[in-house]
Amino acid sequence: MKNNKRYRGIKLTKSLGQHILADKRYLSKIIANCDFDDIDIILEVGPGPGNLTDLLLEQNKPIIAVELDKRFADKLTGVYRDNPRLKLFECDILLKGRLNPLIVDELKKFERWALISNLPYNVAGTVIIESLYCEVPAVFICATVQREVAQRLSAKPAGKIFGPLSVLVQAVSNVKIISTIPPGAFVPPPKVDSAIIKINYVAQLAGRIADAEFFSDFVHRLFRHRRKTLRSGWIKYFPEDIQQDIVNICDELEIDLSVRPEVLTVEQIILLADKLFKLGAKL
């Protein structure tokens, strides 16, 4: 692949995280790892020139494509104007950090949907979380992300990269790294390796969480001072009048307050969050 910053005559925009996946081998791997029989519709974020879109349309499923770049949106409109299975939205997939309500309303018309995308690097983590925690969660996600993001998504407790992204995703799904992708598969080549990840939503796992919004806030607060122990960092940010209650809850769950947050398992974090939610703790 040539090391340039243009693709099919369009100068790519760094601020939009645009790296076009052009290598057909990896595009085919994405398709090969999707369970199309399990879904009714596909959400593709950042289709760009339509390299992946072409392959998705071969699966005979309707597609919602969300493209923020007007130049690519105009090209896609021209190419797919007569294809009734593709509905293109020229907008941002996120609005105030959440999935755009316009897109959510479209997804709610179908019972089962999947996110299948070469995700823009700058929004990948947020889009994945939002897809798993929205009103109608994705059945699965098969997407390209930076390899570092893929490693964080699948990280195990006690590791340096285990954090909020790891917990929030693993709390409701199973994660698998399908393949590493070298920079040369993209135009322009990014400075890092990428990866194809497959995330399968598991309703039974998600059902353990008492309140999803509280859980998300709790996880981010828990890891805010990750270099400190739970006793010297996290617990001190609660009002003094409930700190002893929290100590008692940790004792009940056999959570050692002398450890750092990343040592806790996803299961322990869920149980702790649920106990605090029922206690009425304010984060």
The domain ranges of the chain are: 6-206, 212-279
Q: Which residues of 9-46 are buried (b: 16+ CB within 10 A; e: fewer)?
A: ebebeeebbbbbbbbeebbebbeebbeeeebebbbbbb
Q: Note the pLDDT of residue 276.
A: 95
> Which pLDDT band holds residue 8 (cuts at 50, 70, 90)?
low
Q: What is the pLDDT of residues 78-125, one digit of tens each?
A: 999 999 999 999 999 999 999 999 999 999 999 899 999 999 988 999
Q: Residue range 57-84: average pLDDT?
A: 94
Eight-class DSSP state of 138:
-
What token pair was written down for 230? Answer: 């739970």
User: In percent, how much of the chain has pLDDT > 70?
Assistant: 94
For strand 94-95 and strand 98-99, is the pairing parallel, antiparallel, or unpaired? antiparallel
Backbone φ and ψ for 98, nearest 5 degrees, come out as -120, 160
How high is the pLDDT of residue 10? Answer: 66
Return the pLDDT at 1.
39
Q: Is the pLDDT of residue 131 over 70?
A: yes
CATH class of 6-206: alpha beta
Q: Under CATH, which number does the domain 212-279 receive? A: 1.10.8.100
Inform me whether the pLDDT recorded for 6 exceeds 90: no
Question: Given this chain, do its domains 6-206 and 212-279 carry the same CATH topology?
Answer: no
Question: What integer best gives the mean pLDDT of the chain?
Answer: 93
Per-residue model confidence (pLDDT) at position 2:
44
Q: For 213, phi and psi rounded to 5 degrees?
A: -65, -45
Q: Tell me the C-alpha distance between 103 and 91, whole Å.
A: 9
- Confidence (pLDDT) at 109: 93
The count of other CB atoms within 10 Å of the CB of residue 236 is: 12
pLDDT in tens, 237-258: 888 989 999 999 999 999 999 9
